[in-house]
Amino acid sequence: MGVDVRGDDYTKAACRAVFDAIHHSSLNFFDAAGKTYEDMVIDAHIGVQRPDAVDVDTVAAELPYGTVTVHVRTGGLDVEHARGAEHGNLITANAIICVSFPNNDTAD
């Protein structure tokens, strides 16, 4: 989950959600699987109340490795600031990061 506290910035909330998601995970199987970080195929699923307000290229840049695709849909939560609308809204984004690897097996 990521939050923009007063800027009404859906991209910032989405980036913070991605940062939070990847810093609560650990992928330590690359050597055993014969893969590198660049082999990863990453699908970042973002939920915010205004999907059209998210800059997907900025969100994708939060994921420094692999081939990244960002999917944005309606979700998250907007809450009016306790001190009133003039202080902006609390914008909450949710992120799910799915990592896979292409199947390089060639079956005849």
| CATH number of the domain that residue 90 is part of | 3.30.1330.20
In a domain, 108, yes or no: no
In a domain, 62, yes or no: yes
Q: Residue 21: enclosing H or E segment and its boundaries? A: helix 10-22
Contact predicate 81/87, CB 8 Å: yes
In a domain, 106, yes or no: no
Of 14, 1, 4, the residue nearest 73 (C-alpha): 14
Q: Quick: pLDDT tens for 18-42.
A: 999 998 877 777 777 788 888 889 9
Q: Quick: pLDDT tens for 77-91.
A: 999 877 666 667 899
pTM: 0.86
In a domain, 71, yes or no: yes
In a domain, 69, yes or no: yes
In a domain, 17, yes or no: yes
C-alpha 78/C-alpha 47 separation (Å) is 11
Domain enclosing residue 49, as ranges: 2-100
In a domain, 11, yes or no: yes
How many domains is the chain built from? 1
